[in-house]
Chain A
Amino acid sequence: EAGVVQSPRYKIIEKKQPVAFWCNPISGHNTLYWYLQNLGQGPELLIRYENEEAVDDSQLPKDRFSAERLKGVDSTLKIQPAELGDSAVYLCASSPYGTGSGELFFGEGSRLTVL
Chain B
Amino acid sequence: AQSVTQLGSHVSVSEGALVLLRCNYSSSVPPYLFWYVQYPNQGLQLLLKYTTGATLVKGINGFEAEFKKSETSFHLTKPSAHMSDAAEYFCAVSEGQAGSALIFGKGTTLSVSS
Contact = CB atoms under 8 A, between A and B. Distances in A.
A34 to B, nearest CB: 10
A70 B100 CA distance: 21
B104 A44 contact: yes
Contact of B43 (A95, A103, A107): A107
Interface residues of A, number: 30
Interface string A18-48: 0000000000001101000000111111001
Contacts of A45: 101-103
B105 A42 contact: yes
B114 interface: no
Given A40-B107, A41-B106, A48-B101, A106 B43 contact: yes
Interface residues of B, number: 28
Given A42-B105, A44-B104, A101 B43 contact: no
Interface in B30-47: 32, 34, 36, 41-46
Contact of A101 (B32, B45, B103): B32
Contact of A4 (B34, B43, B51, B99): B43
B60 interface: no
Nearest to A45: B101
Contacts of B103: 45
Interface of B: 4, 9, 32, 34, 36, 41-46, 49, 51, 90, 92, 94, 96-107
Interface of A: 4, 30-31, 33, 40-45, 48, 50, 56, 91, 93, 95-104, 106-109, 111
